[in-house]
Amino acid sequence: MHPTPVFYFEIPVSDLARAMAFYTAVFGLEFEQAEIHGNQMAFFTLAGGTLGVNGALAQGEIYVPSHNGTLVYIPTDDIEATLALALAYGGCVLFPKTAAGEWGFVAELEDSEGNRIALHANT
């Protein structure tokens, strides 16, 4: 059995350069670009030796940004600061910072491409 229930994810984008700029500015993420099966991909990089699920921003005919479908949660130390950065870089707040009981706090934003993305923080 695999050590995590999810192995990999892809976030659909219409403009890969714009999406990379958004995710770099808002989350401090770095990317490795490649073309796979005729689709442009920007793979999230994991810190050296870090275990976890990895994914990519994906641009291609089959990738359509949406508020519907799977919701990806991205960790942050400061939800309010992350939401402010999202607003500054073309996103919008869909669900404000809200307590999630013993699981900390969550919020949702729309990224530069029109995807619904969730945030999670312990405080």
CATH code of residue 40? 3.10.180.10
Q: Is residue 82 part of a domain?
A: yes
For residue 116, the enclosing domain spans 8-121
30 burial (CB, 10 Å; 0-12 / 13-18 / 19+) is middle
User: Could you read off the pLDDT of 19-60 as tens digits, one per residue?
Assistant: 999 999 999 999 999 999 999 999 998 776 666 778 999 999
Residue 57 lies in a domain: yes
Q: Which two tokens stand for residue 70?
A: 């799977």
Euclidean distance between CA atoms 121 and 31, whole angstroms: 23
In this structure, is residue 96 part of a structural domain? yes
Torsion, Cα of 42, 97, 89, 85 (10° steps): -100
Number of domains present in the structure of the chain = 1
**86: pLDDT strictly greater than 70:** yes
List residues bridging with 118 in a β-sheet.
73, 108
pLDDT for 110 beyond 70: yes
Residue in the structure block whose two tokens are 């994810």: 9
pLDDT beyond 90 at 6: no
pTM of the shown model: 0.92
Give the pLDDT of residue 51: 64
Residue 111 falls within a domain, yes or no?
yes
31 inside domain: yes
pLDDT for 2: 65
